């Protein structure tokens, strides 16, 4: 064993000693560490990751989509089976309609599943035959950096593992978390209203299985080291198949102890640290992203001391930005920005404002008050939204998530729909793309997709409203139609992405400061690491014209400044900017 391998094994053993304190002794931790290294290395050399090194730059942007977000069918027969594997069609969409503005893609769970559109996984190492094969996944990963879900908290009740759990045989025996009905579970934090425990008859007797999300999604018991071994093997398999970004789905709920909240427990954080150690010593360019839809301060904790997640989802951004653009008041957004710590080198925020899920409201807790949240929910319901609820510890219901397509969410302000939908939509993305962090763009934001009421009516699942499946011929026609808002959104989005990717001041870790320009103009300043480029990011977030003097920005007046979005050059610093409703300006001292 080389000295580097020995150090690697010692680090893994240290993580395991913390995770399994009181469960495994020192010798057992050492033995488990050796097994995990064998699973991960598979004969490869141990690589030494560079600490605090960013694995991204301003060119990075991630498209979020399902494997079948776009399908090719017989012309004028949209409800027939696809004529080619959807993953093959997805590659064509990426090559044809992102025009080099997107270099990474998050394909939502592409494994066989039984419910929750992929998040009740039946087999982690198979590709859903309805989508394609591992060859199609490999083909995408050759041209785009691939993000895949590690659905680590739970799997399908229809999986082989759970069938074996019921039969009390391996593999599966002892894999799932159970509890006694007499256990103290009052403090358990959950995002759903269903019963936490599901009574199941097994060969070992009647057991109550833990189900954080639904009774078809049964929670793993990571106190059983065999579960950890299974997932380490899965991680290595994903690495071998081109995955470089690992999205740890619902990881905050991973470790459970009755009598606690069963969320964000110390063992959960240590498991994230362990997985990072294992992954980056095999593939230093790989990235872990934690999906923790929880209040802001709890979410930030998953950075650790730059030793847990490389990236965290910036979950507070969507509800805050939606509140800002529907009220015309950026006060709450500014306060949040000023409280957000800069991500350390080697870590970054993952910014998004739309995804396959809805607009989460828990991340707005402490940032918006109850009146503001209720007003936002009511506004979105007027725009066609559905609302998902959660049960609080006192038994009452609280809004958990707003389910709506982002284009419809931004069709108007609190006063109602208006004629600024496209401008407001592009303004929202101009803000997101300019912020510190890596941007994630939902495929339906790239195409300006509206609420899918047919899909909702067919499934009766609230989230289906925002999970439209495009048929290639329909999408092709809409993106070619100059009168369609779909084309306006698509061209506008690509323009923003292409411009962003050329600016060093938009590096995910470039300096950021909040500007104070009143309620109606939201602004912040970005500066590149070499201090050569500054960009003043200015946004009229109201439905009324606004005026701003360049003197208020204290620009260096020895050089001209150019708006990257309009190409207008300003030489006179006494100039007043007249900003249209929802206009975005990226004002820079250098252009490339």
Binding residues for substrate: 116, 154, 247-249, 356-357, 463
The tokens of 370 are what? 């109850």
E strands of 505-588, at which residues?
Answer: 511-515, 521-527, 534-540, 546-549, 561-563, 569-570, 576-579, 584-588
Read off the DSSP letter of residue 45.
P
Q: How far is CA 279 from its chain centroid?
A: 20
Q: Half-sphere exposure of residue 37, counting CA atoms within 13 Å on the CB side?
A: 23
Closest CA to 428 of 452, 405, 451, 456: 405
Task: Print burial letters for 538-555: b (CB count within 10 Å at least 16), e (below 16).
Answer: bbbbbbeebebebeebeb
Helices (H), ranges, 241-316 = 266-280, 296-300
For residue 433, what is the enclosing H or E element?
Answer: helix 421-434
CB neighbours of 327 closer than 8 A, spacing ≥ 6? 375, 413, 414
Q: Are strands 243-249 and 287-291 parallel, antiparallel or unpaired?
A: parallel
Cβ atoms within 10 Å, residue 274: 22
Known catalytic membership, residue 481: no
Radius of gyration of the chain (CA): 24
- Catalytic option among 221, 249, 329, 563: 249
Q: Distance between the two ends of the chain, CA-based, in angstroms?
A: 50
Write out the DSSP string of 485-523.
HHHHHHHHHHHHHHHHTT-GGGSTTSEEEEE---SSEEE
Residues 122, 112: contact at Cβ < 8 Å? yes
Please state whether the peptide bond connecting residue 171 to the residue before it is cis, i.e. omega within 30 degrees of 0.
yes
Q: Which residues are annotated as a binding site?
A: 116, 154, 247-249, 356-357, 463
Query: Annotated catalytic sites, by residue?
Result: 249
């Amino acid at each position: 064993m080389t000295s580097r391998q020995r150090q690697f094994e010692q680090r893994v053993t240290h993580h395991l000693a913390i995770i399994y304190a009181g469960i495994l002794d020192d010798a057992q931790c050492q033995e488990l560490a050796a097994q995990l290294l064998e699973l991960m290395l598979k004969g490869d050399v141990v690589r030494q990751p560079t600490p605090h090194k960013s694995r991204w730059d301003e060119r990075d942007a991630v498209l979020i989509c399902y494997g079948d977000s776009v399908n090719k069918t017989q012309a004028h027969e949209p409800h027939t089976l696809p004529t080619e594997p959807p993953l093959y069609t997805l590659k064509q969409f990426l090559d044809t309609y992102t025009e080099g503005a997107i270099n990474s893609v998050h394909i939502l769970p592409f494994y066989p599943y039984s419910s929750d559109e992929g998040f009740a996984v039946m087999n982690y190492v198979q590709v859903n035959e309805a989508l394609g094969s591992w060859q199609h996944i490999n083909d995408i990963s050759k041209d785009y950096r691939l993000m895949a879900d590690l659905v680590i908290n739970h799997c399908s009740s229809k999986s082989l593992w759970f069938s074996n759990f019921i039969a009390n045989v391996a593999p599966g025996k002892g894999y799932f978390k159970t509890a006694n009905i007499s256990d103290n579970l009052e403090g358990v934090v959950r995002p759903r209203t269903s019963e936490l425990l599901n009574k199941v008859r097994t060969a070992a007797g009647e057991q109550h299985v833990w189900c954080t999300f639904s009774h078809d999604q049964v929670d793993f018991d990571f106190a059983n080291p065999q579960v950890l071994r299974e997932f380490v093997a899965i991680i290595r398999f994903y690495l071998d198949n081109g995955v470089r970004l690992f999205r740890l789905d619902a990881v905050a709920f991973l470790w459970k102890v009755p009598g606690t909240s069963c969320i964000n427990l110390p063992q959960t954080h240590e498991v994230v640290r362990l997985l990072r150690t294992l992954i980056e010593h095999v593939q230093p360019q790989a990235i872990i992203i934690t999906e923790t839809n929880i209040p802001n301060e709890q979410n930030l904790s998953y950075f650790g001391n730059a030793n847990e997640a490389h990236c965290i989802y910036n979950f507070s951004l969507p509800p805050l930005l939606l509140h800002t653009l529907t009220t015309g008041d950026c006060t709450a957004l500014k306060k949040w920005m000023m409280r957000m710590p800069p991500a350390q080198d080697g870590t970054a925020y993952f910014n998004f404002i739309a995804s396959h899920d809805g607009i989460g409201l828990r991340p707005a807790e402490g940032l918006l008050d109850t009146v503001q949240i209720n007003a936002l929910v009511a506004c979105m319901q007027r725009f066609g939204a559905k609302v998902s609820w959660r049960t609080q510890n006192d038994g009452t219901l609280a809004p958990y998530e707003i389910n709506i397509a982002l284009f419809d969410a931004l069709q108007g302000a609190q006063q109602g729909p208006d004629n600024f939908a496209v401008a407001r939509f592009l303004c929202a993305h101009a803000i997101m793309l300019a912020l510190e962090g890596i941007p994630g763009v939902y495929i339906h934001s790239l195409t300006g997709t509206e609420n899918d009421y047919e899909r909702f009516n067919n499934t009766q699942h609230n989230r289906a409203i925002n999970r439209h499946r495009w048929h290639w011929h329909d999408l092709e026609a809409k993106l070619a139609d100059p009168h369609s808002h779909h084309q306006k959104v698509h061209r506008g989005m690509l323009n923003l992405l292409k411009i962003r990717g050329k600016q060093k001041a938009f590096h995910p870790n470039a300096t950021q400061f909040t500007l104070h320009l009143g309620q109606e103009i939201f602004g912040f300043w970005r500066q590149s690491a070499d201090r050569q480029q500054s960009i003043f990011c200015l946004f009229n977030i109201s439905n009324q014209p606004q005026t701003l003097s360049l003197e208020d920005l204290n620009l260096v007046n020895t050089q001209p400044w150019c708006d990257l979005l309009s190409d207008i050059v300003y030489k006179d610093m006494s100039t007043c900017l007249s900003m249209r409703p929802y206009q975005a300006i990226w004002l820079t001292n250098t252009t490339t």
